[in-house]
A and B are shown apart, each in its own frame.
Chain A
Amino acid sequence: MSVFIIRRSMQAALVVVVMSLIVFFGVNVIGNPVDILINPEFDHEEMERAIKALGLDLPLWQQYLVFVKNAFQGNFGESFVYGEPTLKLIVQRMPATLELAFCSLLMSIFLGIPLGLWAGLKPESPVSKTIMSGSILGFSLPTFWVGIMMIMIFAVELGILPSTGRGATVRVLGIDMSFLTLDGFKHLLMPAVNLGFLNLSLVIRLSCAGTREVILQDYIKFARAKGVSPRRVVLVHVLKNILIPVITVIGLQLGNLIAFSVVTETIFSWPGMGKLIIDSILLLDRPVKVAYLLITATMFVTINLVVDILYSVLDPRVRLQDIKA
């Protein structure tokens, strides 16, 4: 088991290195690094100094090493727009994004798996047909448009939910959480539902498809033949089997949610990382772009690693396969 973890961790580390290479070369080879990293408003002398300070007069491979060294120390340069260290900016906004992403994820799991399970058990019933048709809407709807419509209905027409920003927060374990306050929850509701809608449909469809396949298997029939109650057959035998593929996808979806939050945060002016990256692309705040991309990439790799490990915990067959390999 630990061999598996070590191997996967090494693979993950390799990916991060590759990503850093890609970002680095994106900055230095495709773009002009002087433009990207140095504020274009410096005059000639200041530019010379900055070039030296950033080591841009060194050969490329040395520059890469400097880049990596700086990255490890958390130094990604300063934002043009805010004048503050980029890492600090990103870290400040991370909790908001993570909160949004997690709440969306939880909603889609706790709503999606039961709905999908039901639809899979009774595929011909009108309820499940509605659920399945509804789920097609889920990933055909443009998220940003749905967000706008939600604002229009709930904030403008009905006036019951706030349309922008994050609500009051409460400090838990050193991190600010907003879903624990009523005001915070009201602010969180629309963005979380908007962000999670696509995921919800995905979970429903996966659970339904999985259930339909599993229910035909011999071991389900055997369980019934033993006299196991139908409830247990569904909740233990079927559920555990569909959980494996569903959890894998859901786990990977967390990454997707964090990435896609750029859209939801833009619409609802949610003060997270996503809004930061869009603003920085539009405002040409390049150090922030570079830092965001590298940090997010690392986050993904970590998430994938965790999911892989979780997967092997849930599915005992994977563990043994890897040991034999």
Chain B
Amino acid sequence: MTVIPEPDSVMDITAPAVPEAETSLRRFISDFTDNKVAVSALVVFLAILFVAVFCPLISPQDPYDLAVIDIMDSRLPPGSESMSGMQFWLGTDDQGRDMVSAIFYGLRTSLAVGATSGFIALCMGASIGLIAAYFGGRVDAVIMRVVDLQLSFPAILVALILLAILGKGVDKIIVALIAVQWAYYARIARGSALVERSKEYIEAAHCLALSNRRIVFRHLLPNVMPPLIVVATVQVAHAILLEATLSFLGIGLPVTKPSLGLLISTGFEYMMSGKYWISFFPGIALLITVVSINLVGDQLRDVLNPRLQK
């Protein structure tokens, strides 16, 4: 008969079944930085963010200060000089604005609108999703019906409907962008929360008679954050594109606010005569911004997706 050996002598030299687990944050960072492209995208995005925040300080000209721009400078190609000796690296638009400055300010508006609407939509959507998941039953069914309904309509149509009813203005654009985004957050939050809700630590919290609100916000929320963050990157990118599209069509931001979409639309008229730069460069700026956000979001999603892990 086999004799059961002394536990100590065996346990010490038993090789562990898996290597030492690193802290999840460190592993997350190392997984993320595996993809060099995503890291460069992150750097680019941070640069753009910097430009957006500090543009009054770093742009060559304030393109919305009427005293500074001169109609005589208008429609100059890239590399030209103004009467006052200022270099127009990317040319000027039809009002004589320096394209570089116009693009900087436009980026600022785009990012501000995108981030604001994204943030508010996230808070709103996540709260609604969490409430739906937490209370379940009828509440959940009703909320999810509304979410599904909203999601079945294309973003641009929803924005069109709202803007057609509400009219023009920065605040109205932000409302439209929030309306377009909140449902995604709600659905993701609810999905994750449902998974978490069935886990034991929530039952344990219940047993400790913690208030509903505390459970939802202190316990469910931190576990629901990762997928929300992934969705947020994509959504903000979409919001930025949508705002630019609406501004291009003339139903977005008012003419007085700097906007990349508006620049591109202005430049459209001049394309036939070969003055491509008014449309081209703002488009490139928009493209770089959105691509970098998407690349970062992509990598985040791959890193956080359990199904692709081998």
Q: Provided the pairs A30-B166, A149-B280, A296-B157 are in contact, do residues A266 and B149 lie with their beta carbons within 8 angstroms?
A: no
A 248-290 binary contact with B (CB < 8 Å = 1; else 0): 0000100110011011001100000000011001100000010
Q: Smallest distance from the beta carbon of B308 to chain A beta carbons, Å?
A: 7
Contact between B271 and A152, CB atoms less than 8 A apart: yes
Instruction: A28 to B166: give the CA distance in the assembly, Å.
Output: 12
Stretch in contact with the other chain, from B91-99, B203-211, B217-225, B247-255: B247-255
Q: Is the interface of A mostly helix, strand, loop or mixed?
A: helix
Contact between B287 and A278, CB atoms less than 8 A apart: no
B156 interface contact, C-beta 8 A: yes
Instruction: A141 to B237: give the CA distance in the assembly, Å.
Output: 10
**A/B pair count, beta carbons within 8 Å:** 114
Contact between A142 and B268, CB atoms less than 8 A apart: no
A235 interface contact, C-beta 8 A: no
Interface size band for B: 35 or more
Q: Provided the pairs A278-B250, A281-B251 are in contact, do residues A137 and B271 lie with their beta carbons within 8 angstroms?
A: no
CB-nearest residue of chain A to B165: A26
Instruction: A31 to B163: give the CA distance in the assembly, Å.
Output: 12
A139 interface contact, C-beta 8 A: yes
Instruction: A297 to B150: give the CA distance in the assembly, Å.
Output: 11
Q: Provided the pairs A142-B287, A148-B283 are in contact, do residues A304 and B160 lie with their beta carbons within 8 angstroms?
A: no
CB-nearest residue of chain B to A282: B250
CB-nearest residue of chain B to A252: B152
Instruction: A30 to B164: give the CA distance in the assembly, Å.
Output: 11
CB-nearest residue of chain A to B160: A277
Q: Is the interface of B mostly helix, strand, loop or mixed?
A: helix
A192 interface contact, C-beta 8 A: no
Q: Provided the pairs A145-B264, A148-B271, A281-B160 are in contact, do residues A300 and B152 lie with their beta carbons within 8 angstroms?
A: yes
Contact between A300 and B153, CB atoms less than 8 A apart: yes
Interface size band for A: 35 or more
Contacts of B247-288 to chain A: CB distance below 8 A: 248-251, 261, 264-265, 267-268, 271-272, 274, 276, 279-280, 283, 286-287
Instruction: A26 to B54: give the CA distance in the assembly, Å.
Output: 40
CB-nearest residue of chain B to A290: B164
Instruction: A318 to B290: give the CA distance in the assembly, Å.
Output: 37
Instruction: A276 to B251: give the CA distance in the assembly, Å.
Output: 14
Q: Knowing that A136-B294, A142-B264 are A-B contacts, what are 6 other residue pairs whose CB atoms are under 8 Å apart, sorted by A's residue number?
A: A23-B161, A27-B165, A141-B290, A144-B245, A145-B286, A148-B283
Query: Sorted from nearest, which 3 A-B pairs have the closest CB atoms?
Result: A145-B283, A259-B154, A26-B165
Interfacial residues, chain B to chain A (CB-CB below 8 A)? 37, 149, 152-154, 156-157, 160-161, 163-166, 237, 241, 244-245, 248-251, 261, 264-265, 267-268, 271-272, 274, 276, 279-280, 283, 286-287, 290-291, 294-295, 298, 307-308
Interfacial residues, chain A to chain B (CB-CB below 8 A)? 15, 18, 22-23, 26-27, 30-31, 133, 136-137, 139-145, 148-149, 151-152, 156, 212-213, 252, 255-256, 259-260, 262-263, 266-267, 277-278, 281-282, 289, 293, 296-297, 300-301, 304
8 interchain pairs, CB-CB under 8 A: A27-B165, A142-B245, A143-B245, A145-B264, A145-B279, A145-B283, A259-B156, A293-B161
